[in-house]
Structure 1
């Protein structure tokens, strides 16, 4: 990746709806060149998709919670299948160390959090932490400088 690719990634992460024409103007490249770079970054798996960032609170999910999962009572595969079907879980990460999984959930409030915990309790031990604020969220992801 060169500096133009990095600049392109930055612009697309800041505004995924930016048109090829606008990108072309901002980067002083032709539209075909921008399109080719975007396609190449997609083919390499650098750009995995373009999507909207949705505010959980704006869609009634005012409570964000992280859940540490340990001591699974079912297989990893079975647990992952159950988690994949639960729409309150917005991220699931298998971990090293004493915690098996770290889940991120978005729920409407404490009642919904309680329901989620009750759904998960038969399968594992849980430790929940409610997010108070997120001073760093959705940071741009760019290659590390060497």
Structure 2
């Protein structure tokens, strides 16, 4: 496991507040050099700790009012890699997890409305060869979403 120190944690906390923050602003806030911030962010990226700075979209504000969590049961678990590749082709599937228990995979799906959700589930996901069953729970809103707190 890669070790991160207090400077790394402080830099990550600044980026968590605003991923667009200039390195010089982070340096000023933390009382360290701009070069140190750049080197630390480069190292965190190379180590795979920091995987990118991406926008966080509010799906509801861009017209995606429906969300679902869907458990998928496969006919054969060893088909999971192929099925995951097919799921990646469906833009409404925003997250996919391997899980233990009743299902093999667990998805987060977003859709514009109930008809759109039905089409995603029935016309796209259920038509993937090797999927035996889906079980969806409709999402009624996100109470909070965050990264791990350092």
TM-score over 0.5 for the alignment?
yes
CA distance change for structure 1 residues 112 and 73 in 2, over 3 Å: closer, same or farther? farther
What residue is the counterpart of 1:30 in the other structure? 33
Q: Secondary structure of the equivalent of 1:82?
A: helix
Deviation at 1:142, TM superposition (A): 4.2
Q: What stretches of structure 2 of length at least 5 have no aligned partner?
A: none
Deviation at 1:133, TM superposition (A): 2.1
**118-127 or 37-46, which moves further after superposition?**
118-127
Q: Secondary structure of the equivalent of 1:92?
A: strand
What residue is the counterpart of 1:121 in the other structure? 126
Deviation at 1:83, TM superposition (A): 0.2
TM-score of the aligned structures, taking structure 1 as reference length: 0.90
TM-score of the aligned structures, taking structure 2 as reference length: 0.87
Q: Secondary structure of the equivalent of 1:124?
A: strand
Work out the CA distance in 2 between the residues paired with 1:114 and 1:21: 48
Deviation at 1:121, TM superposition (A): 2.3
Deviation at 1:116, TM superposition (A): 1.1
Q: What are the Cα deviations for residues 85-143 of structure 1, in whole angstroms up to 9, with x where unaligned?
A: 01110011121222110000111010011001112224331111111122121x13245
Work out the CA distance in 2 between the residues paired with 1:17 and 1:58: 21
Aligned length: 142
Contact map agreement 2:72 2:105 (CA 8 A) in 1: yes
| RMSD (Å), alpha carbons | 1.6
